[in-house]
Structure 1
Amino acid sequence: MHYRPNIFLLLLLFSFSTFVMHAQSKKQLELEAKRQTILKEIQQINNLIASQKKEERSIISTVEDLNYKVKVRQNLIKVTNDQANLLTREINDNQKQITTLRDQLKYLKEDYAAMVVKSYKSKSEQSRVMFLLSSENFKQAYKRLQYIRQYTDYQKQQGEEIIRKTEQLQQLNTTLLQQKKDKDRLVEENRIAKQKLEEDVKEHEKLMVSVRKNMSTYASQVKSKQQEADRIDKEIEKLIRDAIAASNKKAGKSETTSKGFALTPEAKALEANFQANKGKLPWPVRTGVIKVRYGKQRSSIDNTIEINSNGIRIATDKNAKVRAVFNGEVLAVQATRTGNPAILVQHGNYVTVYRNLSKVHVVKGDKVTTNQEIGEVFTDAVTGECWLGFYVYKDSKFLDPALWILR
């Protein structure tokens, strides 16, 4: 039985390969989920653009949309490439496992055949009864009986193992064929995605030629929009600072040393619950895509201009309903002479802001619940563009809202 150590080694290698395969399959599912999310994002932005009046849209908005689509398609191609590469590794691993299984089956069948021959010879030479009766004492007879039983059981196990390995080999072959089909599909989808990316890039470049001819005019418009956003942000910050000062004054605390709201036990519990739901909060609109992210970034029109976004800008459907992302109390309704209204909702020391509204369904002091409709997003009557500015603050400090809502 000199080949048994080899069988053990093969089983060990096969077990390790199975573990690696399981880890890769999990990664494959994660990548596929990510790819589907990106595909949905592309579909949403295409639907949003299609619903807008192309002849009335500004070049700046069109360039921003194309720039966004290019980035998303590039991300799609990257994820699809990762999937295809992972599938290649899985295919190679499966091919190795098939080779290992075939070797195992070869050894098992040889071992099983040897046992059958030995069993046949044993029966022809003498019966089991004679084998037991020829024992020198009861102890030896008992041990021989144990040996006969163990040998029979082992023979049965080997037969069952051969059946199991054969089925496993058939299953791996089926999986391998499916993986090769999946890889071919991904390669074809990536080819189409690259083709569409090239089309978007060409259209983007064509528009940028027009932009460069009047760069100073467009750059001035970008700066003007940034200044307006900064002005509104400062008003929001002031509203929060004033509310913090008022809450501390009411609680008899120093207004100068207290950086956060004076909270009741209930408000503290609400804050803890809000914080515990980071990354799990619902979106403030039913559908949409994040076109402008949090933080400093270069303008898609003029990369020499730095844009600072204290929140995120979500492009959404016409006249979209705005929903509170968590339980809280309306801290303020901001109304300006030049900008559209904004709603501030307090969740302990956290405040969520919903900006660029056309309608407001709540007033200061109202209690709101998760997913409750609190307003409606403003839709530009000329272009059909519709976007929501969404912010998250803590103690009047900006946080990245994208980290708080569901991904």
Structure 2
Amino acid sequence: MMPSKLLYRLFFLCFVLGSITVNAQSDKQKALEAKRQKFEQELQQLNTLLFSDKKKEKSIVSSVEDLNYKVSVRRNLIKVTNDQANLLTREINANQNEISSLRDQLKELKETYAAMLVKSYKSKSEQSKVMFLLSSDNFKQAYKRLQYIKQYTNYQKEQGELIKVKSAKLQELNTDLVRQKKDKDQLIAENRTAQKELEKELDEQEKLMASIRKNLSSYTSKIKQTQQEIDRLDREINKLIKEAIAASNKKAGNSSLSQGFALTAEAKALAANFVSNKGNLPWPVEKGVVKVRYGTQPSPIDRSITISSSGVRIATEKGAQVRAVFEGEVLAVMGKKYSNPTVLIQHGNYITAYKNLAKVYVKKGDKIATKQDIGEVFTDTNGDSILFFSLHKEDQTQNPAYWIYKM
């Protein structure tokens, strides 16, 4: 017979290891659920910002861009929901196996415990215990027999406790199993609905693309023209930043060949604070979705053409207030030479640019606070309200997604 303490410790170890596995699976489910909720919120925001007004006539290009983005989010939602359902299947199987094992263990424990109770009942009188001790050949044997009686009594108690613990664990697993099956059924139902929505969106997308293919050269020409206008504005911003760098070095008495800003102690502290908030900067609009991300990427209209984005293009609501993502000073307010107004805000040796504004509330030299409104986004004739936002270190662009919270 296994010593009682060793048996109890072995069971406790198995119980802890099982709990760790369950907790690990639970953590995975929590992470997947957080992702699923994120995609659902993104879809809700997309519907509000881009698809709420069915009467509004949009350009085909804008409609394709919107649908492409919605389809990508929908696919991500379907994938993460599938992952959740698959993980639940594995958890359900593991639970069923553990329930089966626990039932076998409980059966064996109860049989053993019942046998011990019968044996104890037959030799329960104090007289039989005394006779068992007195019949010892010597004191040492009597002491060992006394210890055996104590151990046997403790073992009975521990067996009883083990039965209680395992019974409670079995009940808990059965409750979890019911919940898991219910959750899985709900996820499968939600995925079916999402799949149907995706099929509708893909059909609509194909109709739009078929219309575009009839006059592809015209759309391609417009894409190239738009890219040229964006590049022209980017060059103007880059030129302005380089002039500001040169001016700061001239003022500090540095060489005209210096590549970076000559910063005061206050400006250095501001830049350090800006960097320390990387990944946690607020969005430049209260509500928005990123339609075009940073970097070079194929055009959604003609994938043989690449478009270049020095920042991100954020779709927002009409009349949305544009706000500074961090405290700083207005470096420049660029007029309508190449596009709608642009505001540049300097944060030490970092610059944030807010392009495509309808109204501007600030002027060069103004001190700006984090989340301070600096203007209003422009809404075009198609009803699209797009903020072009970029972030620069000196005269080099940075990916805003690494800086803005959950972008």
- Give me the TM-score of the superposition, normalised by structure 2: 0.91
CA distance in 2, matches of 1:362, 1:186: 49
Which residue in the other structure is 1:166 paired with? Answer: 167
Task: Answer whether contact 1:271 1:350 (CA < 8 A) is retained.
Answer: yes
Correspondence 1:16 to 2:17: yes
Please show how residues 62-141 of structure 1 align to structure 2 within 5 Å.
Answer: 62-124=63-125, 126-131=127-132
**Contact 1:21 1:93 survives alignment (8 Å):** no
- Give the CA deviation at 1:308: 0.6
Partner Cα distance (2:123, 2:200) in 1: 79
Give the paired residue count: 405
Contact 2:354/2:390 (8 A) holds in 1 = yes
Could you tell me how far 1:131 is from its partner in structure 2?
Answer: 4.9
Query: Is the aligned partner of 1:360 residue 2:354?
Result: no
Partner of 1:342: 342
Note closer, same or farther for the CA distance 1:157–1:328 as it changes in structure 2 (3 Å cut): farther
Q: Deviations over 1:47-82 (max 9, x none)?
A: 123455755321111111111111111111111111
CA contact (8 A) 2:56 2:383 kept: no
Q: Which runs of 5+ in 1 are unaligned?
A: none
RMSD: 2.5
Which residue does 1:276 correspond to in 2?
276
CA contact (8 A) 1:14 1:100 kept: no
Contact (CA 8 Å) 1:358, 1:379: kept in 2 or not? Answer: yes
Verify: 1:396 aligned to 2:395, yes or no: yes
Map 1:3-402 to 2 at 5 A: 15-52=16-53, 54-124=55-125, 126-131=127-132, 145-256=146-257, 258-380=258-380, 382-402=381-401
CA distance in structure 1 between the partners assigned to 2:265 and 2:109 by the alignment: 69
Pick closer, same or farther for the CA change 1:105–1:359 going to 2, 3 Å.
same
The separation in 1 between residues aligned to 2:140 and 2:327, in whole angstroms, is 79
- 1:135 to partner: Cα distance: 6.2
1:15, distance to aligned residue in structure 2 (A): 4.0
- What SS is found at the alignment partner of 1:307? strand
1:156 maps to amino acid: K
1:222 Cα deviation from its structure 2 partner: 0.8
Distance (Å, rounded) in 2 between the aligned partners of 1:271 and 1:71: 36
Residue 224 of structure 1 and its aligned partner are, at CA, apart by 0.9
CA distance in 1, matches of 2:140, 2:270: 76
In structure 2, C-alpha distance between the alignment counterparts of 1:261 and 1:130, rounded to whole Å: 98
Contact 2:8 2:158 in 1 (8 A): no
What is the identity, as a one-letter code, of the residue corresponding to 1:200?
E
Write the letter of the residue equivalent to 2:385.
C
Contact 1:80–1:186 (Cα < 8 Å) also in 2: yes
Give per-residue Cα distances to partners, 1:372-397, cap 9 Å, x unaligned.
Answer: 222211122x3221111111111211
Q: Classify 1:134/1:351 alpha carbon distance in 2 versus 1 (closer, same or farther; 3 Å).
A: farther
Structure 1 residues 291 and 160, CA gap change in structure 2 (3 angstroms):
same
Query: AA paired with 2:341?
Result: P
**Matched residues in 2 for 1:84 and 1:145: separation?**
57
Percent of residue pairs bearing the same amino acid type: 63
Change (3 A) 1:226 1:146: same
Q: Is the 8 A contact 2:357 2:387 kept in 1?
A: yes
Q: Which amino acid aligns with 2:373?
A: E
Task: Judge conservation of contact 2:232–2:338 (CA < 8 Å) in 1.
Answer: no
The change in CA–CA distance for 1:143 and 1:69 in structure 2 (over 3 A counts) is same
Instruction: Go from structure 1 to structure 2 and tell me whether the alpha carbon gap of 1:156 and 1:7 turns closer, same or farther (over 3 Å shift).
Output: closer
Equivalent residue for 2:405?
406
